Amino acid sequence: MEVIKTDIDGVVIIEPRIFRDERGYFFESFSQRDFQEKVCNTVFVQDNESKSSYGVLRGLHFQKPPYAQSKLVRVIKGAVLDVAVDIRKGSPTFGQHVAVELTEDNHRQFFIPRGFAHGFSVLTDEVIFQYKCDNFYAPQSEGALAWDDSDLGIDWRIPTDKVLLSEKDCHHSRLRDAEWLFDYNEKLY
């Protein structure tokens, strides 16, 4: 696997080595050993999958300590714009984001470390999205930011009138008004 660094330290894109022939393709989608050596020394404990249609926007979500989560995400079918926002107060990249297109054809994966809010928008008729988490889901620890916070400047690549949100995702605060954020100096792993 090739690890591609982004403009925010710790947030990386992973490109697998794909073997193609007349039968199709093969690639190793995950190796704990390689991941720990090349990306982050963490262990994933839960795999999740969602199915969504064009215009669905999920995010920007995170879990607060002690249930903070890292995520390793990928698309099995379709295409999404996946976004990680640095919400660590005191970080040199606080409030900045990385956006990457993940598709069934590019097979890229995106690693979102603890201390970041995460979301994605669906760019195709249908998407099957998978992600690994390094901590179990804890509803009492949920946190989120407004997907349309103008201070974040995220272009979700979907017209606003086509965005489909859950009821919960309609009511999150902007980053500047958030009551709870991570501390850049706090050890998260």
Token couple for 72: 């390793």
Taking the alpha carbons of 5, 6, 12, 14 in that order, is the dihedral positive or negative?
Answer: negative
Task: Examine the residue annotation and report whether 131 is marked as an active-site residue of this protein.
Answer: yes
Task: Examine the residue annotation and report whether 61 is marked as an active-site residue of this protein.
Answer: yes
Number of continuous H segments (helices) and E segments (strands) in the chain: 1, 15
Select which of 61, 97, 107, 118 is catalytic. Answer: 61
At 53 the three-state DSSP class reads strand
**Euclidean distance between CA atoms 179 and 182, whole angstroms:** 11
**Euclidean distance between CA atoms 147 and 149, whole angstroms:** 6
Select which of 107, 131, 171, 172 is catalytic. Answer: 131
Tell me the catalytic residues.
61, 131
